[in-house]
Amino acid sequence: MSSPDTRPDPRRWQALAVLAAAQFMVIMDTSIIGVTLPEMQRDLGFSQGGLQWVFNAYVVAFGGLLLLGGRLSDLLGARRVFTAGWAVLIVGSVVAAAAGGATTEIVGRAVQGVGAALIAPASMTLLMVLFAGRPRELPKALAFYGAAAPAGGTAGVFLGGVITEWLSWPWVFVIYVPIGLLTLALVPALLPAVPGRRGGLDLAGAAAVTGGLALAVYAIVQAPERGWGSTATVLQLAGAALLLAAFVGLQRVVRGPLMPLSVWRTPDLAAANVAMTLLGAAWIPMWYFLNLYLQQVLGYGAFPSGAALVPMTALMMLLMVGVTGRLIARYGTKPLIVTGLVVLGGGLALLSAVSPSGSFVTDVLPGSLVSAVGMALVFIPAMMAAIGRVAPEQGGLASGIVNTTYQIGSAVGLAAMTALATSQGADRLGDPSALTAGFQAAFLGAAVVALAGAGLAAVTLRSRKVGAGAVKETV
């Protein structure tokens, strides 16, 4: 906890803008390539099955290395790791932009994911340091920072459409170079120098958890094509389970564990991470299939499809920045998480009624806006519940855990909903009725996931108001 005479950093809001921009760019990198994939396939010679790895290479590296990034942030200092992450991200962006073949492109995307896995937990640690001892400002800062993630996801679709239509696909990676260099130039002036702490780095544990998570994500994203009961899928999932079990075993015996198991005794940490997992498993399929419905059924081009998601993003950001913090102070985290997941489920249920001859105003706008309200109610409270009561020296670890659960939930949810949609006709390109039936099934499946998350949150989260006193515990 901060000492009473600690003066606030006068640059904290400018620094917050840098951190939020970093979060925006990290999440945007998962979505900006979506509408550019056909051009990349033609230019780089990707097979139809291999094309998905332009997306998956980033997600696997990002999700698999977040825990390690959080641990490095604690040990080496958050500003140092943040800086290193941007340097790695810039290198990966250059490789991806200059790629002349499929393999090089996948390598570049994986390197980008490594950089993002360093940036994300370091950003959260820096935010908590900047607003330490400022209980009235912390919820607002977290809301602003949290709004950057979903905004980055949707902005990526929009900007990808703009770039695809007026430039060429390498520019979706080139834009990260000047932004990264500008960020690195601002770091010494705005971000606090957070000292690291002494301790060992559990390399065996890092290898086990990274390998286990990467293998699990790989198996899940391949399963719709190979079959969930195929030998390869079963063996890979079993191997992932063994690696993750070995990781847990190592954490019990090594002297400097990557993830001290005692962190899970923190109130609400486990329950909030379950909520974040199911939030990702519901939200990302909604965004993914809504974009496909706009393009493949309603006939929108890349740019109009991205523009169609702007109202949803604008509402979500408005609520996160202007409303969510006040609601947390008044009602606490649990009511908002439960209510938000129910509202998200309702929005997805509305979207499950899309029709082959529908329109943006009647079929897309109502359900997307309701879903945005649900997301705005859940994301910040779940993040606060997950990290708000851990010891200060475990801030990077807790941030790495919650980011990992959200990413893994997103990958699992998208893979499962893709399999469901495909079974109902979503693979029949050129057939609007079959495509719509598949998308309807995906939206309905995601609604069930969101409602299941609401039920689990209602049972497992503690009922606790987060007013000024409670928020003070987070710093």
Average pLDDT over residues 282-305: 81
**What pLDDT is stored for residue 45 in this prediction?**
77
Which tens digits make up the pLDDT trace of 135-175? 677 767 777 777 777 677 667 777 777 787 788 888 888 98
Q: CA 217, CA 48: separation in Å to the nearest integer?
A: 19
Q: Which residue has the higher pLDDT, 261 or 470?
A: 261
Q: Which residue has the higher pLDDT, 325 or 447?
A: 447
Q: Confidence band (pLDDT; 50, 70, 90) for 470?
A: very low
Q: What's the burial of 257, exposed, middle or buried (CB within 10 Å: 0-12/13-18/19+)?
A: buried
**Six token digits for residue 388:** 């708000």
Least confident window among 44-58, 231-245, 428-442: 44-58
**What pLDDT is stored for residue 252 in this prediction?**
84
Instruction: Tell me the residue length of the chain.
Output: 475
Report whether pLDDT(262) > 80. no
Which tens digits make up the pLDDT trace of 184-209? 888 888 887 777 666 666 778 878 87
**What pLDDT is stored for residue 103 in this prediction?**
87
What share of residues in the chain are helix, strand, coil (percent, to 5)? 80, 0, 20
**What pLDDT is stored for residue 407 in this prediction?**
76
- SS3 category, 215: helix
- SS3 category, 133: coil
Report whether pLDDT(299) > 90. no
Q: Confidence band (pLDDT; 50, 70, 90) for 133?
A: low
At residue 167, what is the residue type?
A: L
**Six token digits for residue 212:** 């286990």
Report whether pLDDT(471) > 60. no
Report whether pLDDT(272) > 80. yes
One of 3.30.200.20, 1.20.1250.20, 3.30.505.50, 3.40.50.300 is the CATH number of 12-189+258-472, namely 1.20.1250.20
Least confident window among 153-162, 171-180, 248-257, 414-423: 153-162
Q: Which residues does 306 contact at the CB level (< 8 Å), separation at least 6?
A: 35, 154, 157, 158, 159, 160, 161, 162
Per the CB < 8 A criterion, the answer to whether 310 and 158 are in contact is yes
Least confident window among 89-93, 176-180, 251-255, 390-394: 390-394
Q: Which residue has the higher pLDDT, 69 or 1?
A: 69
Strands (E) located in 372-470: none
Of 237, 222, 194, the C-alpha closest to 395 is 194
Report whether pLDDT(3) > 50. no
Which tens digits make up the pLDDT trace of 203-240? 788 788 778 877 887 787 677 677 778 999 999 999 99
Least confident window among 112-126, 190-204, 434-448: 190-204
**What pLDDT is stored for residue 263 in this prediction?**
77
Q: Which residues does 229 contact at the CB level (< 8 Å), separation at least 6?
A: none
Report whether pLDDT(8) > 70. no
Which tens digits make up the pLDDT trace of 351-389? 999 999 888 899 999 999 999 999 989 988 888 888 777
pTM: 0.77
**What pLDDT is stored for residue 395 in this prediction?**
64
Question: CA 90, 95, 97: angle at the middle one, nearest 5?
Answer: 90
**What pLDDT is stored for residue 211 in this prediction?**
84
- Per the prediction, the chain carries an average pLDDT of 81
Positive/negative CA dihedral, 3, 5, 8, 10: negative
